[in-house]
Amino acid sequence: MLNARSAREIAERLHEAERNRRQIRQLSYSYPDLAIDDAYAIQRQWVAIKLGEGRTIRGHKIGLTSRAMQRSSQINEPDTGALLDDMFFPDAGPIPIERFIVPRVEIEVAFVLGGPLAGGSCTLSDVLAATEYVVPALEIIDARIEQVDEQTKSTRRVTDTIADNAANAGVVLGGRAIRPMDVDLRGIPGVLYRNSEVEETGVSVAVLNHPANGIAWLADRLARYGSALTAGEVVLSGSFTRPVAVTAGDTIHAEFGPLGTVSCQFR
């Protein structure tokens, strides 16, 4: 197990990498035995640094929600990271590209909770009952850790990604606020455009057979640490398309059928 001091030192390196927009070497190179729990310990220290600077937690993101991605990452469950207040950008608004290192965009269904959601044995029905509404979302992912090591050519491991706040960097919420029981959440279509060209398409059933299953998983994972989801929190349930790379000047637009649309511009 990684000790608290080492976890804090690594978190500070990640924080500095984000601030300087300069990636660091894979943690799995220096710490080949880094475990999942160690990676989450680093992530919690990173969040603590952000809270110490005045940031607040507004929710959570869930990643690795497809079996294919889990198998490729040699993990049998999703991963999660924190959504901080300064990660939220307005629908159809400009986003400063200098905030990121290697930004990419994914489309997701966001759940906004109207009540608390405790874990332990959380079910899909529990999630739907606690959800006030769902909206379409764009998640901006980034990497403060190198994806491919220049010397060894090895790729980043899941522990690297988890320590790096599960690659989360930004969120755009849009569309129509719809109650979860008023729409088939398994059948939400998604079309992601970059500069008016279709880049990715998908259907929300690809997210753990139902996007709410990821929220239930998250509630149970938080319960292990004596925590729970609270009213007002935003939870990104997981992407149902591959990520699309963006650069300055790109306009991203996504259509979600009955949930409406969401967009942003990178400048």
CB 234 within 8 A of CB 173: yes
Q: Quick one: pLDDT at residue 66?
A: 72
Give the residue-averaged pLDDT of 260-266. 98
Tell me what the pLDDT averaged over the chain comes to.
Answer: 94
Distances from the Cα of 259 to the Cα of 172, 191, 204, 217, angstroms: 14, 12, 12, 23
How confident is the model over 29-69, as pLDDT tens digits?
A: 889 899 999 999 999 999 999 999 999 999 999 998 876 56
228: left (phi over 0), alpha (psi -120 to 50) or beta: beta
pTM: 0.95
Fold of 57-266: Fumarylacetoacetate hydrolase; domain 2 (3.90.850)
Start-to-end CA distance of the chain, whole Å, equals 42
Q: Quick one: pLDDT at residue 64?
A: 86
Q: Quick one: pLDDT at residue 152?
A: 87
Q: Quick one: pLDDT at residue 1?
A: 78
